[in-house]
Chains A and B, each alone.
Chain A
Amino acid sequence: MILVTVGSQASFDRLIRAVDEWAQLRLRSDVFAQTARTNYVPKHIKFTDFVDPSDFKTLVERSKLVVAHAGMGSIISALEMGKPIVVMPRRARFRETRNDHQVAAAKHFGKIGRIIVAQNEQELTEKLDHAVTLGETDRIETQASPELLATIRSFLDGSSDPPGARGYRAG
C-alpha cells in the first residue's frame, strides 16, 4: 500500500490531486490517502478525512511508501518505521500554510538523502515513479538524539551552565 497524508490541520489539494492523477495513470489501486477537509475529491484513490493516531501508526507500518506534506509529524513517523518517504512542501502563496517553512525544511532534508523531495506536482509524479521501486530502510530511534537528551538532563541536574540557559532557580 502507498499511504498519503497531509496531516491533521489543513487540506492540501495540490498533493492529493497529483497523487490521484498519478494513480490513475499508473493503474495503482493500492493508494490510501488521509486528506483532512479536502476540497478536491479523489476519483481513483481511497481516502478518509482523518485517521486516529494509533490507526495511523498501523497504516504507516503496513505501507510500502509514504507520500506526505513536508510536516515533521509525517516525516518522523515514516523515518521511525523505516519507510521511504516522498514529500511536497505546502506553499504560502497557494494559502496551504501561513509561511514557507515547509519549503525550507524540505530543501534541507532533501540534501540529507533519507527523504525524497518534490517541489511541485510535476516533480512529484517523477519522484513517485522512482520511489515505488524502493525498499525499506533502517528505522531511526524513537527518541531524540543523545545530545539533546543530555542537554536537557544536565540542565535539570543543574550540572551545566550553558550560554542561553539563564537564571537558574531552585526547583
Chain B
Amino acid sequence: MTAMNGRNNEGRKKVLAVASSGGHWTQLLRVTPAFTSDEIVFVTVLESYRGQVPENKVHIVSDANRWNKFALIVLAIRIGWIVARERPNVVVSTGAAPGYFALLFGRLFRARTIWIDSITNIEHLSMSGSLAGKYADLWLTQWPHLATPKGPRYGGSVL
C-alpha cells in the first residue's frame, strides 16, 4: 500500500508514465531507463501493451481526442482518479490526451511533471504538448529549432 507521501515501502520514488498508443508508447518505453531506480506505474490505452512491461503495474484508459468532448471528460476523470490513488512523485508523458490530463492532475497533487513532445512533431508542437507546457516542470521538445527561451526546451531525443 502506498503511503500518502507517494513513497513506496522501499523508499523509492514512484513514477507515473503515461502514453497513448503507437509512437507515443514506443517513445515512452525508450525513456524509462531514466527511472531505473524508481517504481514505474504505466497508464496507456491498449490492453495488449501489458506484455511489454510484465514487471509493472499498468492502468488502461480509453483514449480520447479534441473532437470528442464527452470522451475527453471521461478520460480526465479517469486520469484524475488514477493520479489521486497512485500519488506519484513524478509524472512523465510523451503524449497525447491521457498525458495532458496526467500532467494537469500531477501538478495538482504536487508531483514533478515531465512532458516530452513526440519526435514526430517537427514543424510545431503537438496540441497536447502546447497545452501541457502550462503544467510541465520539465517541458521538452525533441527538436532544437522548436525550443524557445520560454520553453519548451531541447534536451536530446528518443533516437
Q: Is the CB of A162 within 8 A of B22?
A: no
Residues in B whose Cβ lies below 8 Å from that of A149: 31, 33-34, 156
Residues of chain A contacted by B9 (CB below 8 angstroms):
none
The answer to whether B147 and A164 touch across the interface, beta carbons within 8 angstroms, is: yes
Q: How far is the CA of A141 from the CA of B152 in the complex (A)?
A: 25
List, in ascending order, chain B residues with CB within 8 A of A79's CB. Answer: 159
A27 within 8 Å of B (CB atoms): no
Number of residues from A at the complex interface, CB < 8 A? 43
Known: A144-B33, A144-B158, A164-B151. A54 touches B51 (CB 8 A): yes
Contacts of B142 in A (CB 8 A): 148
Count B interface residues, CB 8 Å. 48
Task: Decide yes or no whether A159 CB sits under 8 A from chain B.
Answer: no
A8 and B114 contact, CB distance less than 8 A: no
Assess whether A138 is interfacial by the CB under 8 Å rule. Answer: no
Main secondary structure of the interface of A (DSSP, over half): helix
Q: Decide yes or no whether B110 CB sits under 8 A from chain A.
A: yes
In this assembly, does B48 line the interface, its C-beta being within 8 Å of a C-beta of chain A?
A: yes
Residue-wise, chain B 99-133 has the 8 Å CB interface mask toward A (1 for contact) of: 00000000000111010101111110000000000
A94 close to B (CB within 8 Å): no
A154 to chain B: closest residue by CB: B155
In contact, A104 and B122 (Cβ under 8 angstroms):
yes
CB distance from A87 to the nearest CB of B (A): 12
Q: Is the C-beta of A7 less than 8 angstroms from some C-beta in chain B? A: yes
- Is B93's beta carbon under 8 Å from chain A? no
A152 to chain B, nearest CB (A): 4
**Most chain A CB neighbours (cut-off 10 Å) among B22, B49, B51, B150:** B22
B30 to A105, Cβ gap below 8 A?
Answer: no
When A53-B48, A72-B118 are in contact, do A169 and B110 touch as well, CB less than 8 Å? yes
In angstroms, Cα B114 to Cα A163, docked, is 14
Which of B21, B49, B139, B158 has a CB less than 8 Å from the CB of A9? Answer: B21
| Chain A: CB-nearest residue to B116 | A148
Flag if B156 contacts A8 (CB, 8 Å).
no
Q: Does chain A have a CB within 8 A of B42?
A: no
B133–chain A nearest beta-carbon distance, Å: 9
Shortest distance between the CB of A4 and any CB in chain B (Å):
16
Check A73 against B22 for contact (C-beta < 8 Å).
yes
The answer on a CB contact under 8 Å between B120 and A105 is yes
- A interface list, Cβ under 8 A from B: 7-9, 52-54, 71-77, 79, 101-102, 104-105, 108, 140, 142-153, 155-156, 162-169, 171
Chain B residues near A (Cβ < 8 Å): 13, 21-23, 25-27, 30-35, 46, 48-49, 51-52, 89-90, 92, 110-112, 114, 116, 118-123, 137-140, 142, 147, 149-153, 155-159
Given contacts A144-B27, A153-B34, A164-B147, could you give 6 more A-B pairs where the C-beta distance is less than 8 Å? A53-B48, A146-B156, A148-B155, A149-B156, A164-B138, A171-B89
